[in-house]
Amino acid sequence: MALIGQIRKNSWILVVMIALGLGGFILMDMTSGQQSIFGSGQTTMAEINGNPIDVNQFTKTEQVVFGGQQGDPFAQRNTIWNYYLENVVVREEAAELGLGVSKEELIDLQFGTNLSPIITNRFRNQATGQVDRQRLQEFQQAIQTNDLRPDLRQFWAHQENEIINDRLKTKMNEMVGAAMYVPTWQAEMLGADQNNKIDFLYVKVPFDAIADSEVSLTDADYEAYLAENTKTYFQKEETRKIAYVSFDVVSSAADSAVIRDQVQALRTSFETTSDDEVFVQNNFGQMDPAYVAADALPENIADTLANMEPGTLYGPYLSGNSYQVVKLIDRKIIPDSVRSRHILIQADPNNQIQLQAAMSTVDSLKRLIEAGTHQFDSLALAFGSDGTATKGGDLGFAAPGGMVKPFNDLIFFDAEPGELKTVVTQFGAHLVEVTDRKYIENKQGFKVAYIGRPIVPSEETIRSRESEALAFYEGNNTLEALQAAAAARPDLDLVVTAALKENDYFITNLGGSQASRDMIRWAFGNDPQMETAEVGDVSPSLYRFQDAAEFFTNKYVIAALQSVRAPGNAKVSDVRDEIQPAVMNTKKAELVKSAIGANSGLDAVASRYGVTVDTVRGTPFSSSFISGLGSEPKVVGRAFSLELNQVSTPIQGNAGIFVVKTIYKPAGGQAANIPQIRSTTSSTLQAQVNARMINSLKENAKIDDMRSKFF
E strands within 335-462?
337-346, 394-398, 420-425, 428-438, 443-454
- pLDDT tens figures, 610-634: 999 999 998 888 888 888 889 999 9
Q: What is the mean pLDDT of residues 473-484?
A: 93
- Full-model pTM: 0.75
Q: What is the mean pLDDT of residues 372-382?
A: 93
Q: Is the pLDDT of residue 30 over 50?
A: no
CA quadruple 225, 229, 230, 233: dihedral sign: negative
- Residue 181, pLDDT score: 83
- pLDDT tens figures, 101-144: 999 999 999 999 999 999 998 888 765 678 888 888 888 998 99
Which of left, alpha, beta for 661 (phi over 0: left; psi -120 to 50: alpha)? beta
Residue of 574, 669, 559, 519 whose CA lies nearest to 230:
574
Distance, in Å, from the CA atom of 424 to the CA atom of 406, rounded to the nearest integer, reads 7
Choice between 187 and 204, residue whose per-residue pLDDT is larger:
204
Distance, in Å, from the CA atom of 223 to the CA atom of 228, rounded to the nearest integer, reads 9
Residue 648 in 3-state DSSP? Answer: coil
**Measured torsion, CA atoms of residues 516, 521, 524, 526, in degrees rounded to the nearest 10:** 180
| Confidence category of residue 570, pLDDT binned at 50, 70, 90 | very high
Phi and psi torsions of 127, nearest 5°: -80, -40
Q: What is the mean pLDDT of residues 247-263?
A: 96
Distance, in Å, from the CA atom of 634 to the CA atom of 660, rounded to the nearest integer, reads 11
Residue 575 in 3-state DSSP? Answer: helix
- First-to-last alpha carbon distance for the chain, in angstroms, is 55
Choice between 686 and 476, residue whose per-residue pLDDT is larger:
476
- pLDDT tens figures, 516-532: 999 999 999 998 888 89
| Confidence category of residue 671, pLDDT binned at 50, 70, 90 | low
- Residue 670, pLDDT score: 66
Distance, in Å, from the CA atom of 171 to the CA atom of 105, rounded to the nearest integer, reads 13
- pLDDT tens figures, 125-135: 765 678 888 88
| Confidence category of residue 683, pLDDT binned at 50, 70, 90 | confident
Q: What is the mean pLDDT of residues 700-711?
A: 92
| Confidence category of residue 18, pLDDT binned at 50, 70, 90 | very low
Q: What is the mean pLDDT of residues 491-519?
A: 95
What DSSP character marks residue 491? T
Q: What is the mean pLDDT of residues 73-84?
A: 92
| Confidence category of residue 377, pLDDT binned at 50, 70, 90 | very high
Distance, in Å, from the CA atom of 130 to the CA atom of 674, rounded to the nearest integer, reads 40
- Residue 31, pLDDT score: 34
Q: Is the pLDDT of residue 589 over 80?
A: yes
β-sheet bridge partners, residue 495:
244
What DSSP character marks residue 403? S
- Residue 571, pLDDT score: 93
